Amino acid sequence: MTIRPLADRVVIKMVEAEETTKSGIILTASAQEKPSIAEIVAVGPGGMVDGKEVTMNVKVGEKVLISKYAGNEVKVDGVEYSIVRQSDILAVVEGAEAPKAKSAAKAETTKSTAKKTETTAKRGRKPAAKTPAKRGRKSKGTK
């Protein structure tokens, strides 16, 4: 059996939630957060919705971020799906380019910091030393 959404609705399948944390702690089912990343299974045709023309901006197979408690959950042939409106979709998840760009920017920052340190060393300068704070004032009348 297949599901064919109507109007501006989208059928999505949630991506599996991680069962362990980054540090290796295994989470129980009740402690796991509801995943907000889903894969689009079917897309409605769009058209007139509430007197406004709606064009569909998502395609089958794309991964998307959705609102945490959006849509209606249905079970078809033992598989759980959610049916959401296109307006409940927050963003389309692009490929793994974003993390690479972030790490490239971090590497560039590390390179520039290393270059500054190297330049300072070539000039024969020492890093500025911290001076101890003065504890009290000397009065003018004492020797």
* Torsion of the alpha carbons at 6, 9, 15 and 17, rounded to the nearest 10: -120
Question: DSSP code of 79?
Answer: E
Residues 6+ apart with CB under 8 A from 13: 38, 39, 41, 79, 80, 81, 82
DSSP letters of 81-139? EEEEEGGGEEEEE--THHHHHHHHHHHHHHHHHHHHHHHHHHTT--PPPPPPPP-SPPP
- Per residue in 96-112, pLDDT tens? 443 333 344 444 445 55
pLDDT of residue 131: 60
pLDDT of residue 127: 57
pLDDT of residue 87: 92
Token pair of 142 as six digits: 């004492």
Burial of 108 (0-12, 13-18, 19+ CB in 10 A): exposed
The C-alpha atoms of residue 116 and residue 103 are separated, in whole angstroms, by: 20
Residue 56 contacts residue 43 (beta carbons within 8 Å): yes
Instruction: Tally Cβ neighbours within 10 Å of residue 66.
Output: 21
Residue 43 contacts residue 122 (beta carbons within 8 Å): no
- Per residue in 4-60, pLDDT tens? 999 999 999 998 766 667 787 776 655 556 668 999 999 999 999 889 999 999 999
